Amino acid sequence: MIIDCAIYRRGHREDTSHEPDDLAEVIAELADTDDFLWIGLYEPSLEELTRIAEPLKLHPLAIEDAVEAHQRPKVERYDDHLFMSLKTVTYTNDNIETAEINAFLGQRYLVTVRHGEGHDLRDVRKRAESDEHELEHGAIAALYAVVDSVVDEYEDVAAELETDVQEVEESVFSIVRTSDSSRIYRLKRETLEFRRAVMPLREPVQRFALGAMPEDAQPYFRDIADHLSRVSESIDATDKLLDNALSAHLAQLSIQQNDDMRKLTAGAALFAIPTAIAGVYGMNFEHMPELTWTFGYPLVLGLTAVLCAYVYVRFKRSGWL
């Protein structure tokens, strides 16, 4: 349940007990210092999280939200702590997969609850620990490290989506006949999933940047807000490009169908000439032109060939063949 648990004194890590029953004593020791406790959990049950929540006095509603995955990204304030839920995003083979991180931020602690396999916070913690000056700012610095790593992943996903959209555009406008509609619809669906993860996070992060956090932390969250704005703009641009690509693809299909119909019409016209002549000479009338003439068949066949060649050349020049 508890993946990692450590105290950070002036940015330096000190391992502590992983037993929930010892948390009250640990928190009491940190009451008069700037040090903080960082607890990392992975998919705890309600009973397991409740044991940890009791000494930290976490709100019951926030505990329920942290246990249940599939929360909408949000930030909620309680009496002495803040609850934050955010989505992590990974992108492979035109498929976006989301996981979830929930965080409790108090004055002397940060509790992170992770669901899914998308974003391993152990790597985030190691990077934060490598810069001891960052964690000197307390638990809020640890929260910044978590949110910043998630938003950086958003930017990577946005760049990969843009690359795939460029591939679709090249395919749509290539001279080779392609079937891109299924991929375009799939990319639009994944873009929508990406939007659901990113857009709800913009407003609370903007609040952090504009005064909801201590003054020394606001520049860091302004940086995250700027990254989120870039990702949001990228999502909007990707969605519009996919709409344009779909419209262009449908237009290309319509043009290709028109070309096919013209070719079929031209072919039918070529066959109509010999059919008409053969139809006239196939009627068993007694009085027919050139009926007893030796060169009748060669003349009719030659005339048919000349007319067909003439019609073929005209269709070829007009682009119908």
Per-residue model confidence as pLDDT tens digits over 215-261: 778 888 899 999 999 999 999 999 999 998 888 888 877 777 777 78
Local structure of residue 208 (DSSP, 8 states):
I
Rounded to an integer, the average pLDDT of 157-178 is: 86
Whether the CB-CB separation of 118 and 88 falls below 8 Å is answered with yes
Q: What is the pLDDT of residues 58-107, one digit of tens each?
A: 999 999 999 987 888 999 999 889 999 999 999 888 888 999 999 999 98
Evaluate if residue 313 carries a pLDDT over 90.
Answer: no
Confidence of residue 290 (pLDDT cuts 50, 70, 90): low
Q: What is the pTM of this model?
A: 0.78
pLDDT at residue 275, rounded to an integer: 77
Query: How does the average pLDDT of the chain come out, rounded?
Result: 84
Whether the CB-CB separation of 20 and 52 falls below 8 Å is answered with yes
Percentage of the chain with pLDDT > 90? 31
CB-based contacts of 147, cutoff 8 Å, min separation 6: 84, 86, 205, 221, 224
pLDDT at residue 183, rounded to an integer: 87
- β-partners of residue 91 are 96
The domains located in the chain, with CATH, are 2-252 (3.30.460.20), 256-318 (1.20.58.340)
Given CA atoms 233, 235, 241, 247 in this order, what sign does their dihedral have? Answer: negative
Buried-exposed string 101-115: b where 16+ CB fall within 10 A, e elsewhere: bbbbbbebbbbbbbb
Confidence of residue 171 (pLDDT cuts 50, 70, 90): confident
Confidence of residue 281 (pLDDT cuts 50, 70, 90): low
Confidence of residue 296 (pLDDT cuts 50, 70, 90): low
Rounded to an integer, the average pLDDT of 279-297 is: 63
Whether the CB-CB separation of 246 and 184 falls below 8 Å is answered with yes
**In whole angstroms, what is the distance from residue 169 CA to residue 225 CA?**
30
pLDDT at residue 133, rounded to an integer: 79
